[in-house]
Structure 1
Amino acid sequence: MDHFLYRNGVLHAEDVPVPEIAVAVGTPFYLYSTATLLRHYRLFEEGLAGTDHLICYAVKALSNQAILATLAAEGAGMDVVSEGEYRRALAAGVPGERVVFSGVGKTRGEMRVALAGGIRQFNVESEPEMRALDEVARSMGLVAPVAIRVNPDVDARTHEKIATGRKENKFGIPISRAREVYAEAARLKGLKVVGIDVHIGSQLTDLAPFEEAYTKVAELARQLRADGHEISRLDLGGGLGIPYESQSNAPPPLPTDYCAMVRRVVGDLGCEIEIEPGRLIAGNAGIMVAQVVWLKHGEDRDFLILDAGMNDLIRPAMYGAWHEIVPVIEPAPGAELHPFDIVGPVCETGDTFARNRPMPPVAAGDLVAFRSAGAYGAVMASEYNTRPLIPEVLVRGDQFAVIRARPTFDEIIGRDTIPEWL
């Protein structure tokens, strides 16, 4: 469910007409709903109520400080994968003690920053990283809390570019070697083992892979406790998918179903549970709004050319992702549909959002909205073709605010430095 609905024939974000925002900020732009963000976050809180838990929002999904501050006010922790994301979380008012630092390539510099600023735990991904973190922590006179990320070799049954829990993926330590790695971690004076971490991928639409992975983690926890390790925390990652197609015959499981499965599989271990949802909280809380520039008739197809491009929303080009694209002015009932290739202005054939997509009547100047664009949209955008990053706008009730402004061309070009010899 989201809060982007037609009212009197006009798409609204909560109580604000989308065309009103388009006039104020220009197109294209990203538009987020506070009510939808909070609703999705609270579903996880309700699902884990009564258990010792922390929901750490995956910052990589949508990292604007206004979004982080909105969730932090609800008590959310943050899952970060870089120094930049760590600094964003702190700038948004999240205490370091509620921040989990994940990621396969942490540098010693990033470790120092997080240790100095406070950290809930590092999710350690390899033995070299573990040894480096030990050295850095001891050099600072500190002890770093760690959970070791294990790779359970479970097929998440998702897109190959966002699967992270198979043995051929770069993430984590093979679960078959976990006991020896934990034994080494226990000998390192700069580390304190607090738990186990696992994350098998993103946009999962079936609970079975989660359950398979968590069952392996539960068994490992029992083995590690028998070996003398204090396992008090289980970081179960994120990855629960969202319905990109509103009329899907097989919608993903609900957060309540996911949380019930978590309770059943690992609830008897007495561990604090951490989960790291990103897409499910942010995905359907955002849309991208664009304007039709031209309708172009080709040899065997018609093109709908928009002012938004693959640099603004790269998911279709990168993942073959599907987004529902709807007119901002509601079509008349029974309006005849016409197939279009929906494309952007970027000088790449890959700048294609949809092929042969049936659309109701549209004309140059009309606005369209890409639904389910809140996650991995703005954060993956670029200035390719010297196209400015597009604004981000947040709505709450009948109010809206620009939370990232569109840069000017002078600002973009002014970042370049021409050497003296030129």
Structure 2
Amino acid sequence: MHHFEYRDGKLFAEEANVTDLAEKFGTPLYVYSAATFRRHFKAFDSAFSGLDHLTCYSVKANSNLSVLKMLAEEGAGMDIVSGGELYRALKAGVAPEKIVYSGVGKRPSEIKEALTAGILMFNVESVAELRRINEVAKEMGVVARVSFRINPDVDPQTHPYISTGMKKNKFGLDIDSSLEAYKLAAELENVEPIGMDCHIGSQLTSIDPFLEALEKLLNFYQKLKGLGIEIKYLDLGGGLGIPYDEEEPPHPTEFGKALMDKLADVPLTVILEPGRVIAGNAGIMITEVVYTKSNPSKNFLIVDAAMNDLIRPSLYSSYHRIDEVEQRGRDNQEYDVVGPICESTDFLARDRELPGIEEGELLAVFSAGAYGFTMASNYNSRPRACELIVDGDKVIVARKRESYEDLIEKEL
């Protein structure tokens, strides 16, 4: 569910007319709905109310400071993967004890920053990383709380680029190696193993892979207990999908019920790391049609948004619904919706049925709230877009549009 709807053929974001927003703030333009963010977080978090749990929003999905502040006010913790994301989370007012730090390549400086802040724990992804964390913690005279990311070799049945829990992936440790890693952690003086972590992939449309991974983790938990290693946290990651097209992902309540059935008698605090399911349908991207073009085999809509603004279609061949901002009732035609970047992969949609579109008209690209702006770049020296948050009838400039001067500021 989201708060973008048509009223008399005109698209509104909550109480704001999207055409008016584009005229005032220009395009390309990201527009987020505050009500949708809040609604999605509450719906997700409440689905696990029967469990002792902590919901840590995955910052990489949408890291805008205003978004993080809004979710922190709702009680969210944060799942981070870099020192920059730690900095953002702390600036947004997130309590350090609600922050978990994932990622395969944490640098010593980033480890030190996280230890100084006092985060809940590191999700460790290799023995080399464990030793590095122990070294940094020893230099600082502290004990680092750690969890190991266990790779359960479960097929998440998603796009291979966003599958993370199989043997061939770079993430985590296999179960046999994990056992040895926990033994080592128990021996080291400056780390304390307090959790287990698992994240099998993104945009999952079934809870079966989650439950298959959970079964393996619970068996592993018993092995740890047998070694006298008592952990407190079970981090199941994120990855629950959203409907971009015709997908029918499970509702969080279905996931919550399944976890409660499995974990009712397990004395662990469950950590969940939703990102896309919170942010994805809370945002749209608005773009203007600069030119229309046809050749004997194709009709093109050349728009002012490009793969540097929204890379998912080019990177993953991902589907995003595209529609008019103002519906005019024209007959459908088949188009490729393409951007101005000098790459053949610069497209937002191919072979898409859309009403007849003319130059100067606006299109809305839906489900752009997650992995949209966060993956944007300045390729072709294109300034990044403006981000707005609409909260009822209030419009907040969450990020100003970049200028040409911004592009070269660090180069002078």
TM-score range, shorter chain: over 0.9
Structure 2 residue aligned with 1:390 = 385
> Does structure 2 conserve the Cα–Cα contact (< 8 Å) formed by 1:95 and 1:118?
no
CA distance in 1, matches of 2:170, 2:275: 20
8 A contact 1:202–1:239 mirrored in 2: yes
The aligned residue for residue 182 of structure 2 is 182
2:130 counterpart residue number: 130
Counterpart-to-counterpart distance in 2, 1:223 and 1:188: 19
Counterpart position of 2:12: 12
1:73-96 Cα shifts (integer Å, max 9, x gaps): 011000000000000000011121
Q: 1:366-405 to 2 correspondence within 5 Å?
A: 366-405=361-400
- Given that residues 215 and 266 in structure 1 are in contact (C-alpha distance below 8 angstroms), is that contact kept between their aligned partners in structure 2? no
Question: What's the offset of the Cα at 1:50?
Answer: 3.2
**What SS does the aligned partner of 1:206 have?**
coil
What does residue 324 of structure 1 align with?
A: 321
Contact 1:154–1:165 (CA under 8 A) maintained in structure 2 = yes
SS in structure 2 of the partner of residue 128 of structure 1: helix
State the Cα deviation string for residues 356-393 of structure 1 (Å, max 9, x = none). Answer: 11101211111110000000000000011111000110
CA distance in 1 between counterparts of 2:105 and 2:405 reads 34
Aligned pairs for 1:127-276 within 5 A: 127-245=127-245, 248=246, 250-276=247-273
Residue 411 of structure 2 aligns to a residue in which SS?
coil
| Conserved 8 A contact 2:195-2:235 | yes
2:264, 2:233 → 1: CA distance?
12
Q: Secondary structure in 2 aligned to 1:369?
A: strand
Corresponding residue for 2:44? 44
Q: CA deviation at 1:307?
A: 0.5
Q: C-alpha distance in 2, partners of 1:195/1:269?
A: 13
In the other structure, the counterpart of 1:282 is 279
The more displaced of 214-223 and 305-314 is 214-223
Moved runs in structure 1, 4+ residues, more than 4 A? none
Give the TM-score normalised by the residue count of structure 1: 0.96
Cα distance, 1:259 vs structure 2: 1.3
Instruction: Compute the displacement of 1:140 (Å).
Output: 0.6
For 1:133, the aligned partner's letter is I
For 2:213 and 2:176, locate their aligned partners in 1 and report how far apart those are by CA, in whole Å: 13
Provide structure 2 residue ranges, at least 5 long, that are not aligned to the other structure: none
RMSD value, Cα: 1.0
How far is 1:354 from its partner?
Answer: 1.3
Counterpart in 1 of 2:295?
298
Match of 1:284, SS state, is: helix
Per-residue deviation, 1:268: 2.2
Using the TM superposition, give the Cα deviation of residue 323 of structure 1 relative to its aligned residue in structure 2, in angstroms: 0.3
Instruction: Say which is worse superposed, 59-68 or 132-141, in terms of deviation.
Output: 132-141
Q: Judge conservation of contact 2:50–2:260 (CA < 8 Å) in 1.
A: no
Q: Quote the offset at 1:53 in angstroms.
A: 0.7
The one-letter code sitting in structure 2 at the alignment partner of 1:390 is A
Looking at structure 2, the residues matched to 236 and 260 of structure 1 have their Cα atoms a distance apart, in angstroms, of 15
Q: Distance in 2 between matches of 1:408 and 1:117?
A: 34
d(CA) in 2 for partners of 1:132, 1:273 = 26
TM, length-normalised to structure 2: 0.98
Question: How many residues of Structure 1 are paired with residues of Structure 2 in the alignment?
Answer: 412
1:81-100 map, 5 Å:
81-100=81-100
CA distance in 2, matches of 1:140, 1:226: 32
Structure-1 separation of matches of 2:354 and 2:98: 45
**Which residue number corresponds to residue 420 of structure 1?**
none
**Aligned mates of 1:28, 1:315 — CA distance in 2:** 16
Q: Structure 1 177/413 Cα, relative in aligned 2: closer, same or farther at 3 Å?
A: closer
Percent sequence identity over matched residues?
A: 49
Query: Which stretch shows the higher mean deviation, 43-52 or 113-122?
Result: 43-52
Query: Is 1:302–1:339's contact at 8 Å kept on the other side of the alignment?
Result: yes
Amino acid at match of 2:360: G
Give unpaired runs (5+ residues) of structure 1: 418-422
* Contact 2:292 2:299 survives alignment (8 Å): yes
Match of 1:344 among 339, 344, 350: 339
Write the deviation string for residues 258-294 of structure 1: whole angstroms up to 9, x where unpaired: 1112222233212100000000000000000000111
SS in 2 for 1:79: strand
CA distance in structure 2 between the aligned counterparts of 1:410 and 1:199, rounded to whole angstroms: 40
**Contact 1:202–1:240 at 8 Å: present in 2 too?**
yes
Structure 1 residue aligned with 2:349: 354
Q: Of residues 405, 408, 411 in structure 2, which corresponds to 1:413?
A: 408
Q: Write the distance in 2 (CA, Å) between the matches of 1:41 and 1:267.
A: 23
- Cα distance in 2 for partners of 1:4, 1:110 equals 39
Distance 1:348 1:110 in 2: 35
- Secondary structure of the equivalent of 2:223? helix
